[in-house]
Homo-oligomer: A and B are copies of this chain.
Amino acid sequence: MSANGPVRRRGRPASAEKAAGEPATRDRILGSARAEFAERGYDKASIRAIARGAGVDSALVHHYFGTKEQVFTAAVQGAFAPALGIPDLLLSGDPEEWGEQLVGYIFMIWEDAVTRDPLLAIMRSAVNNETAASIFRGLITRNLLERVAGGLDRPDPELRVELAMAQLVGTAMLRYVIKVEPIASARPEDLIPRLAPVVQRHLTG
């Protein structure tokens, strides 16, 4: 069940659902948290508004996640879940093919609104607040950057991975956020062959 699940009476969770549906409630809180952080920014986001958006008590948000910082961390981790498959995908293959594998996988995540929107929401929060940026930075460093760089037998592996990420982050910005044409409407099959060799060059060139 997502943030779009059935509307419930606000204020307190029905105890039957609380017992049977903890993952659903948790997901609904995370969906509401992403929306709140994206809309109001990290500083102005409130646990109360996140609870309201999920149709639960503030106490339940604290119960599941703790502080606002911890709610944000959980929301980032949730949004990043699909991307966390990247290190395993790459490390199981030949580094000379990472460019194509990585770009193909990233477009799979991006082209589905279900996996794209949470990522964009979290990126918006991180762009606008130093605390949010710092949490975001820690998570991508530990979960993506260090693991992928660890499999790269080249000088300056972290910098290589970040320059490859920069190409992809910038493509996402222009295509999905600023929506400048023609990149916003280009087909993935026209973009992937232009991006893969450049990403490959950063990684192993």
Residues of A at the B interface (CB closer than 8 Å) are 41, 123-124, 126-128, 133, 136-137, 140-141, 145, 156, 158-159, 162-163, 165-171, 173-174, 177-183, 186, 190-191, 194-195, 197-198, 201-202
B171 and A163 within 8 A (CB): yes
Is there an interface contact between A133 and B186, defined as CB atoms closer than 8 Å?
no
Residues of B within 8 A of A126 (CB): 177-178
- Number of copies of this chain in the oligomer? 2
Contacting pair A166 B159 (CB below 8 A) = no
- Chain B residues lying within 8 Å of A170, measured Cβ to Cβ, are 165-171, 173
Closest CB in chain B relative to A121 CB, distance in Å: 11
CB-based contact A183/B159 at 8 Å = yes
From B127, B159, B178, contact of A182 by CB (8 A):
B159
Evaluate contact between A180 and B145: CB separation under 8 angstroms.
Answer: yes
- Asked whether A166 lies within 8 Å of B158 as measured between CB atoms, the reply is no
A137-B180, A178-B133 given; A163·B124 CB < 8 A: no
